[in-house]
Chains A and B, each alone.
Chain A
């Protein structure tokens, strides 16, 4: 089963297979709408807000997504596994270097 993921900021659409996290699906398609970092829920650069769709998630760093934010639909794209088509908004960014 493959679900459609829409990134609102860039209007990019890509497919995400069951059991695959959104960031991995995006990166494998060569798309760059969501900043790609550690892919382990630790660094926080891939923070998104899920506006539509159902998903399961794995543990993500509380340094980047608080419990309240998680309830409100904020998440790290590398910890999100779609169960329906998803519409999301990108929040995270690669911070200013120096």
Chain B
């Protein structure tokens, strides 16, 4: 019962053709659908639902919404009441309003980011199927990522004026949607303000993350890869395709993941997130990073936060 996983993100791109080259030939997704409005839908080879990324051409980059799949229609009834009781307006959207998706709940989390919950999305199957499957399909392109892993949303953070949407989002996700806190960065004079949080609803170290910044936005969307070797190869693919890399292969202290940060042609940051990190559990004690060790938390090897990490986003 409850939320299963991240199901898709809808991001805005400035140039559809360049974006399709990026997500298909570099990231390794497949185009599965284009709707009448020109939105393009893509999926990764190891995903069974119809799509995990919607690209919308627009005059500015960033995120439109994020969707999470829940287990059943009864979950939607339950969450609808809980979200509403929390004081957040929630719309009950009819089947098909989101392409290939059943009945959905639409609402804004405390930072203002738009979120959807739904129990059904059209099933198309993975590229290896379910009967005697091969470990991976032939013909993988680019990085050949497995699935959309998580997203990090930049949330307004201004302690001097008493604004901390990271904390508000975190409380909402835990109290209302039954996510649990896995890691956090605490800052401020008392060392008790959440500047960043990583939350899970499954057993991956994060199904969503929030970091504080001057304005709301999208920090990155991340795709899963098996291993460090896959991450290195993905970086080679990016070099070959002249992709703007933000941070070359490196380990995160937080979540222990193997990472590359890179940008799509509209400036939306992507990540290839390698390895499980660790198996997150609801009773696993929360990991805390202190303000003086933020650099090691984010980029474990250099121990230094690059200036772009919290300032460059869409």
Query: Which residues of A pack against B, CB within 8 Å?
Result: 36-43, 45, 58-64, 94-98
Stretch among B169-177, B231-239, B266-274 lining the A interface: B266-274
Instruction: Check A39/B244 contact, CB under 8 A, given A45-B311, A62-B59, A97-B311.
Output: yes
Instruction: Check A41/B61 contact, CB under 8 A, given A96-B214, A98-B187.
Output: yes
Chain B interface residue number, banded: 20 to 34
Kindly state whether residue B265 has any CB partner on chain A within 8 Å. yes
Instruction: Check A42/B60 contact, CB under 8 A, given A94-B312, A98-B187, A98-B212.
Output: yes
Give, as a whole number of angstroms, the nearest-CB distance from B18 to chain A.
9
Kindly state whether residue B99 has any CB partner on chain A within 8 Å. no
Give, as a whole number of angstroms, the nearest-CB distance from B303 to chain A.
16
Tell whether, in the assembled complex, residue A40 and residue B263 are in contact, meaning their CB atoms are under 8 Å apart: yes
Give, as a whole number of angstroms, the nearest-CB distance from A81 to chain B.
15
Q: List 25 A-B contacts (CB under 8 A).
A: A37-B308, A37-B311, A38-B244, A38-B267, A38-B312, A40-B14, A40-B263, A40-B264, A40-B265, A41-B266, A42-B267, A42-B268, A43-B313, A45-B311, A58-B14, A59-B59, A60-B14, A61-B14, A62-B60, A63-B62, A94-B308, A95-B214, A95-B311, A96-B214, A97-B311
Tell whether, in the assembled complex, residue A63 and residue B265 are in contact, meaning their CB atoms are under 8 Å apart: no
Tell whether, in the assembled complex, residue B267 and residue A61 are in contact, meaning their CB atoms are under 8 Å apart: yes
Q: Nearest 6 pairs between A and B by C-beta? A: A42-B267, A38-B267, A42-B61, A40-B267, A37-B312, A39-B244
CA distance A36 to B306 in the complex (A): 11
Instruction: Check A42/B15 contact, CB under 8 A, given A94-B307, A98-B187.
Output: no
**Contact code string B135-162 (vs A, CB < 8 Å = 1, else 0):** 0000000000000000000000101000
Q: Which residues of B contact A61 (CB under 8 A)?
A: 14, 59-61, 266-267, 314
Query: Which residues of B pack against A, CB within 8 Å?
Result: 14-15, 59-62, 157, 159, 187, 195, 212-214, 244, 246, 263-269, 307-308, 310-314
Q: What is the chain A residue whose CB lies nearest that of B158?
A: A98
Known: A38-B61, A63-B60. 6 other contacts (CB 8 A): A38-B263, A39-B267, A40-B265, A42-B62, A61-B14, A98-B195
Residue of A40, A63, A64 with most partner-chain B CB within 10 A: A40
Tell whether, in the assembled complex, residue B312 and residue A45 are in contact, meaning their CB atoms are under 8 Å apart: yes
Tell whether, in the assembled complex, residue A59 and residue B14 are in contact, meaning their CB atoms are under 8 Å apart: yes
Q: Which residues of B contact A58 (CB under 8 A)?
A: 14-15
Q: Which residues of B contact A60 (CB under 8 A)?
A: 14
Residue of A38, A39, A61, A63 with most partner-chain B CB within 10 A: A38
Tell whether, in the assembled complex, residue B244 and residue A40 are in contact, meaning their CB atoms are under 8 Å apart: yes
Q: Which residues of A contact B313 (CB under 8 A)?
A: 43
Q: What is the chain B residue whose CB lies nearest that of A63?
A: B60
CA distance A39 to B265 in the complex (A): 8
Tell whether, in the assembled complex, residue B266 and residue A97 are in contact, meaning their CB atoms are under 8 Å apart: no
CA distance A37 to B214 in the complex (A): 16
Tell whether, in the assembled complex, residue B267 and residue A41 are in contact, meaning their CB atoms are under 8 Å apart: yes
Q: What is the chain B residue whose CB lies nearest that of A45?
A: B312
Q: What is the chain B residue whose CB lies nearest that of A37?
A: B312
Tell whether, in the assembled complex, residue A37 and residue B195 are in contact, meaning their CB atoms are under 8 Å apart: no
